[in-house]
Amino acid sequence: MSKNVFVNKDECTSCALCTDGLPQYFRMDDDDLAETHNDGENVGNAIVPDNDTAKVQEMIDDCPAECIHWK
């Protein structure tokens, strides 16, 4: 089963860990705050298939601002 992931931008510190590590799911917006996406679609509500949930979970755990969350 896939899961959906988003960033609470109010808490993002723009460290770029997620956008550098998993650019397929994370990118910076015009204000240099991270947001999730799928190839530019599903912005703010990226779909993560089963085979990638572990690596996204690792990013959730590593985000220094603890602002990446599953929906």
Q: Of 16, 49, 58, 70, which lies in the binding site for ligand SF4, with binding defined by CB under 6 A? A: 16
Check if the beta carbon of residue 56 is closer than 8 Å to that of residue 25.
yes
What pairs with residue 46 in β-bridges?
A: 5
Helix (H, G, I), strand (E, B) or coil at 52: helix
Q: Can you tell me which of 7, 46, 48, 56 binds ligand SF4, judged by CB under 6 A? A: 7
Binding mask 31-70 for ligand SF4 (x = CB under 6 A): ---x----------------------------xxx-xx--
- The two tokens of residue 46 are 């990226």
Distance CA 53, CA 10 (A): 24
CB of 62 to ligand SF4, least distance (A): 7
| Footprint on this chain of ligand SF4 (rule: CB under 6 A) | 7, 12-18, 34, 63-65, 67-68
